[in-house]
Amino acid sequence: MQNLLDTVKGPWFIAVYTWREGLRRKTLVGFLVLSLLVIFGATFMTSFINQATVGDVTTDMDLKLIKDICVTTISIFGILITIFISASVVPTEIENRVIYTVLSKPVRRFQYLFGKFLGVQLIIIMNLCLMGGLFFIALYIKQQILPTLLLWSVFLTYFEFLIVSALTFAIACASSSSVLPTIAGLFIYITGSLTEYLKDVYNRSGQSGEWFDTLIGYIAYILWNILPNLQRFSLKTQIINSQPNDPPTDVLIPQLVIYGLIYAVCGYILAYWIFRKREV
Amino acid sequence: MSNNHNPVIKTLNLTKVYDTGFRGEQVSALKNLNLEVYPSEIFGYLGPNGSGKTTTIKLLLGLIFPTSGSIEIMGTKDIYSAYVKKNIGYLPEGSYYPDFLKGEEILRFYGQLYGLTGKELGKRIDEVLELVGMTHARRRLLKGYSKGMRQRIGLAQALISDPQILILDEPTTGLDPIARKEIRDILSHLRDKGKTLLISSHELLEVEMISNRVGILYEGILRVAGTLDELLTSKDRIIEFANAKNGVVQEIENKGGEVVDQVKDRVYLKVKNDEELYKVIELCKNLGLQLIKITPRRETLEELFVNVIDLAKKERSL
C-alpha cells in the first residue's frame, strides 16, 4: 500500500507543478480570457437585442443565439487550449532542461509522463469549469431554470477533449518542439469530428462493383472503427433546441465515458511506449 | 586517492554512438570509457566542448542509454533504481527554474520527488538553504534572483535529499569571482563531509583548487586520469641567482640558458634535467652570480590540459 502511495505521490506533485506552470502561460491565459469575454459578451449583446424587440419569438432567438455562441466558444477555445497545452508540456521541459532535474530524481518515466498528463487534465478541467460556469450563470439568469443539460454537455465535452489531449500528448512525446504536435492535434480534432462521414463512405461503397470502390469502402470502415468519433460527444443541437433542464437524449453517457477513457489509456500507453526509450 | 575503497561510480567500456541523420550517419560521443570515482573525493571531469562530458553525465543519470559498456553506481548496475537515484544529486549546466516559484517552493517540489514530506522536508529545506547561504531569499520569487543565487538554489535542489554523490555540470560558469569562491567553498565543505563529487568544468583553475583527482576527456576518449600529484609532475626546476648585473641576462641567453624572470638583482632560470642544471650552475658561477635556491616546478592543470589535447591532436593527424 505504501509502495502504491509512493508511486502515485510523485506524479501528483508533477501534476500540480504542471498545472501551476500552465496558469502562467500567456497563450493559454489569453485563450481563456478571450473565451470568457466572448461568453460574457454574447450574454450582454443579446440582452441589448432583447430590449430593442418584443415578443416570444425574439426571446427564443435571443436564447438560441446565446447558446449557439457559448457552446461554440467553449468548443473552439476549449480545444485550442487542450491542444496547445497537451502539445507543449513535454517538449518545453526538454527544451528548458527542467526534465533533467526531474528524471534524475527517483521518478520513473511512466510516473513523470503520468504526472504531466494529469497536470494537463487539471488545466483542461479548470478551463472547462470556468467557461461552462460562466455560461451556466448566463443561462440561469436568462431563463431562471437550472441548465442541467449544459452540465452534461460540459461533462461530455471533457471526454472529447481527453481523447484529443491524450493523442496529442503521445505525439508530443516524440517531438522536440510543440509545433508538430499542435498541428497533429488540430488534425486529430478535425478528423475526429468528421469520422461519421467515413461510415457514409463505407455504406455507399461497393455500389459500382469496382474493386477500387470496395477497397475505399473497407479503408473507410477500418478508419471509422479506429479513429475517435468526437461527434458522439456533442449535445450542441439539443442544448440549442431543448429546455435547459431536459435530460440528454440520443447519447449513452456511461458508454461515452468508457469510450473516452479507452482512447485516453491508449494515448497514454502510446506516449509511454514512445517516451520510455527516448533520449533527452 | 582512496584506491583501497570501491569506486562509487564505475564505468566499463562505456560507449555512446548517436545517430545523426536519416542516412544512418553516426557520431561516437564516447569511446570505451573506463572511469572510476572514489568515495569522498572531488573528481574534476575536464574536456573541451563536445568532448563527451555531458554525454557521460547523461548516461550516469539514465537520461540517455549506452550503446555498449556498463555503468555501476554505489555497487549496483541498476542505475534506475530508487536506491541509486536517492543517492544522486544533479546540477545541470545553465539549469532553468520557473520564475513563478519561490526559492523554497522549488526545493519543496524537488524534495517531494524524493519522497520527503512534512517536517522532514521542512527541516531539510532549512538545512540546504543555510548551507548554500540562501536563507534570506527563501521567500523571494526566482525572477528576482541573480545568476549566482539561481546557481545556489540549483545546488540546494541537488542537495535536498542529502545524497552521497553529487554530479555538477559547470557549477561556476558565468559567476563572478566572489560567487565562484563561495560555491568552491561549499563544494570543498561537502567533500569534507564525506560526499563524492563529480564536477564537469572548463574552469581549470577552479578544478585544480578543489579536486583530488581529474580526468581529461577529448573526442570521447579519456586521455588521462589520476590524482593531481600524479599528473602534475615535471622535471622542470627553477634556479634563483643573486648579484645579477646589467647585461647578464643577455649573456646567459646567448650561452643557451632559459631566463624566465628577473627581479632587481635576482634572475630565475628554468632547467629541464640534471645535465642542464649542472651546466647552468657552472655558467652562472663563471658570471659571478650567487646561487640562492633550486625549486622543483609543478606543472599547472592548464599546461597539462593543453599538452594532453595537443598530443591527442597530433596522434589523430598521424
Domains of chain B: 9-231 (3.40.50.300), 237-296 (3.30.70)
Of residues A176 and B21, the one with the higher pLDDT is: A176
Q: Please indicate whether residue A138 or residue A120 has the higher confidence score (pLDDT).
A: A120
Flag whether A156 is in a domain. Answer: yes
B95 vs A contacts (CB less than 8 Å): 97-98, 100-101
**B101 interaction partners in chain A (CB closer than 8 Å):** 20
**Residue A176: what pLDDT?**
87
How many angstroms separate the CA of residue B40 from the nearest CA in chain A? 21
Q: Is A167 inside any structural domain?
A: yes
Q: Identify all chain A residues contacting B110, using CB atoms and an 8 Å cutoff.
A: 101, 105
For residue A100, give its domain range: 2-275
- Does B209 have pLDDT greater than 50? yes
Helix (H) or strand (E) holding A123: helix A109-143
Q: Which residues contact A118 (CB under 8 A, 6 or more apart)?
A: A11, A12, A14, A15, A18
Residue B1 has pLDDT above 50, yes or no: no
Summarised one tens digit per residue, pLDDT across range B149-178 is 999 999 999 999 999 999 999 998 878 888
Q: What is the pLDDT of residue A211?
A: 85
State what percent of residues in chain A have pLDDT above 70.
94
Answer for the pair B193, B143: CB distance below 8 angstroms, yes or no. Answer: no
pLDDT surpassing 90 at residue B249 = no
In a domain, A266, yes or no: yes
pLDDT at B2: 46
State whether A100 and B88 contact (CB < 8 Å): no
Distance CA A41, CA A35 (A): 10
What mean pLDDT is predicted for residues B13-27?
A: 87
**What's the pLDDT tens digit per position in B103-116?**
999 999 999 999 99
- DSSP reduced 3-state for A239: helix
Residue A124 C-alpha, separation from nearest chain B C-alpha, in angstroms: 20
- First-to-last alpha carbon distance for chain A, in angstroms, is 32
Residue A58 is predicted with a pLDDT of 53
Instruction: State the nearest Cα–Cα gap between B114 and chain A, in angstroms.
Output: 6
In a domain, A166, yes or no: yes
> How many domains does the structure of chain A reveal?
1
Residues B186-207 pLDDT 10s: 999 999 999 999 999 888 888 9
Task: At B128, give phi and psi (nearest 5°).
Answer: -70, -35
Contacts of B61 in chain A (CB under 8 A): 100, 103-104
Chain B interface test: which of A17, A25, A98, A101 (most B C-beta within 10 Å): A101
A186 Cβ neighbours under 8 A, 6+ residues apart: A83
pLDDT per position as a tens digit, B26-61: 899 999 999 999 999 999 999 999 999 999 999 999
Closest to A104 (Cβ–Cβ): which among B88, B98, B101?
B88
Note whether A103 contacts B63, CB cutoff 8 Å: yes
Give chain B positions within 8 Å (CB) of A107. Answer: 85, 113
Is the confidence at residue A129, as pLDDT, over 90? Answer: yes
> How close, in Å, is residue B206 to chain A by CA atoms?
24
**Which chain B residues have a beta carbon less than 8 Å from that of A11?**
none
ipTM of the predicted assembly exceeds 0.85: no
Helix (H, G, I), strand (E, B) or coil at A99: helix
Residue A13 resides in a domain = yes
Residue A280 domain flag: no
For chain A, say whether B97 makes contact (Cβ under 8 Å). Answer: yes
Write out the residues of chain A at the interface with chain B, using a CB-CB cutoff of 8 A: 6, 9-10, 13-14, 17, 20-21, 24, 96-98, 100-108, 277, 279-280
Residue A77, min C-alpha distance to chain B (Å): 25
Q: Is the pLDDT of residue A45 over 90?
A: no
What does the pLDDT average to over A159-173?
Answer: 97
The packing angle between helices A211-226 and A195-204, to 10°, is 150
Using a CB-CB cut-off of 8 Å, the residues of chain B touching A3 are: none
